[in-house]
């Protein structure tokens, strides 16, 4: 982060951990596609609708295409979230949080449930965001039992939250 960017956010050297910089390659699959832009200080990269589809397998949903494909590097995952404006629309992301794996190369699409009195996003509106997150390589180890904790197997609401 440059000193100018730090001043913009009211930060000092001691406040900032320099983030890792990674390259994300992307392709544009339509002349209507809005190229993704990452702004330092934001977590997500906005995604813009270029196409609307009503999927046959989910008639209660609307699906938006961005016309953008990304090559998420191995060791990372792209997480799709709605923008905060979705609260004004009566829509909810159908899978709560979308996952773009490093092996996926198709265009990024977001599917929303249409709920109650809803308003659709239109072509050229920002419809969601992708957040790139580090993901460790997982090694699963089958055990006969797990170490005990104070919480144990107590589930929903058991922590008092």
Number of domains within the chain: 1
- Per-chain mean pLDDT for the chain: 90
Q: Is residue 41 part of a domain?
A: yes
Residue 52 inside a domain? The answer is yes
46: confidence class by pLDDT, cuts 50, 70, 90:
very high
Q: Which helix (H) or strand (E) holds 3?
A: helix 3-8
| Distance, CA of 130 to CA of 56 (rounded, Å) | 25
State pLDDT tens for residues 101-128.
Answer: 999 999 999 999 999 999 999 999 999 9
Confidence of residue 7 (pLDDT cuts 50, 70, 90): confident
Q: Is the pLDDT of residue 89 over 80?
A: yes
Is there a domain that residue 143 lies in? no
155 within some domain: no
Q: Does pLDDT of 11 surpass 80?
A: no
Question: CATH number of the domain that 65 lies in?
Answer: 2.70.40.10
Structural domain range at position 112:
22-134
Kindly write down the DSSP assignment for every residue of 90-121, as one continuous string. TEEETTSSEEE-TT--S--EEEEEE-SS----
Q: Is residue 10 part of a domain?
A: no
Residue 114 within any structural domain of the chain: yes
C-alpha separations of 42 from 39, 54, 96, 150 in Å: 6, 31, 21, 37
Q: What is the pLDDT of residues 134-160, one digit of tens each?
A: 999 899 999 999 999 888 888 887 777
């Amino acid at each position: 982060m440059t000193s100018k960017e730090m001043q913009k956010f009211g930060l000092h050297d001691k406040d900032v951990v320099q983030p890792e910089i990674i390259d994300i390659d992307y392709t544009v699959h339509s002349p209507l596609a809005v190229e993704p832009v990452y702004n330092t200080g934001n977590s997500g990269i906005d995604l813009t609708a270029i196409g609307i589809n009503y999927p046959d397998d989910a008639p209660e949903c609307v699906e938006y295409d961005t016309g953008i494909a990304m090559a998420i590097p191995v060791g990372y995952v792209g997480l799709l979230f709605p923008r905060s404006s979705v609260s004004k629309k009566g829509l909810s992301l159908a899978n709560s949080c979308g996952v773009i794996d490093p092996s996926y190369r198709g265009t990024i699409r977001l599917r929303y449930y249409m709920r109650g009195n809803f308003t659709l996003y239109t072509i050229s509106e920002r419809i969601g965001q992708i957040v790139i997150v580090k993901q460790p390589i997982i090694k699963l180890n089958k055990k006969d039992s797990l170490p005990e904790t104070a919480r144990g197997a107590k589930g929903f609401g058991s922590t008092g939250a």
